[in-house]
Amino acid sequence: MFNLISPLKMMSVVLVLFGFGAIAAIYTLEKAQFSDANPYRAVMILASIYDLILLGLAHVGWRWLWRKIPLLGSVLFPDLNGRWRMTIHWSGVDGGGEVEASAVIKQSFVSFSIEVQSDGSDSETLVVQPKKDPESGRPILYYVYRVVPKGGHDLSAGSYEGAAILKFFEGHSHGLRGNYFTSRNTQGRFELQRA
């Protein structure tokens, strides 16, 4: 999600907040008549505390913030963490079909991954890029992955890569849907619903 906000804007916000905190710390020290206290030490302690708070918010605390302020999910990006039921519709040279799978999405403010497991294979994330559609504002995931067949399921072909564009839908069809293609010359559609 960090990619959704300009890094320069994010740095600007962090620096402004830190500046206000440093001014407040120095003012508090002077008001408490600690004239011999080293204001630089106070600022360094404040900076360390501020860094710990930002680290906590980036990895865990942002979900609490999203629950408290639901508007953030629509303004920035929704919280997609959790287990999803996945249906994979595929077609290729040898025909087509449908496979049921399960997906686990792990999302923090600075990282994103999608792990998929089915009876015949597992997939691992190579790249996931969250974006917002510039016209509709709909959340979109650009997803590149590697599929590794499980023992006894088409091991002769080995692992292969694929790419998908998944769009987030709200309302009665709440979930992620989108088309994909692979380096095995197969293509199809992913449909994910919360488990």
What does the pLDDT look like over 114-170, one tens digit per residue?
A: 999 999 999 999 999 999 888 888 999 999 999 999 876 555 568 999 999 999 988
Whether residues 166 and 92 share a domain: the answer is yes
Whether residues 66 and 87 share a domain: the answer is no
The domain tally of the chain equals 2
Mean pLDDT for 181-190 is 94
Beta-bridge mates of residue 125: 145
Please say whether the dihedral angle defined by the alpha carbons of residues 54, 2, 139 and 111, taken in this order, is positive or negative: negative
d(CA 122, CA 119): 8
What is residue 148's predicted lDDT score, i.e. its pLDDT?
A: 93
Mean pLDDT estimate for the chain: 83
Q: What are the pLDDT digits (tens) for 29-59?
A: 666 655 455 666 666 777 777 778 777 777 7
Whether residues 53 and 146 share a domain: the answer is no
What is residue 34's predicted lDDT score, i.e. its pLDDT?
A: 53
Whether residues 159 and 109 share a domain: the answer is yes
Which of 101, 108, 103, 98 lies closest to 84 in space, CA to CA? 103
pLDDT bracket for residue 1 (50, 70, 90): low
Choose the final residue of a domain: 75, 91, 123.
75
Whether residues 131 and 56 share a domain: the answer is no
The reported pTM is 0.75
Q: What are the pLDDT digits (tens) for 75-93?
A: 888 999 999 999 999 998 8
Domain CATH for 187? 2.40.128
Which amino acid belongs to residue 187?
Answer: Q
Choose the final residue of a domain: 59, 75, 91.
75
Q: Comparing 3 with 140, which gets the higher pLDDT?
A: 140
Choose the final residue of a domain: 75, 96, 116.
75
pLDDT bracket for residue 104 (50, 70, 90): very high
Whether residues 126 and 35 share a domain: the answer is no
What is residue 58's predicted lDDT score, i.e. its pLDDT?
A: 74
Whether residues 177 and 90 share a domain: the answer is yes
Whether residues 44 and 6 share a domain: the answer is yes
pLDDT beyond 80 at 74: yes
Whether residues 122 and 172 share a domain: the answer is yes
Whether residues 61 and 97 share a domain: the answer is no
Whether residues 104 and 187 share a domain: the answer is yes
Range of the domain at 154: 82-194
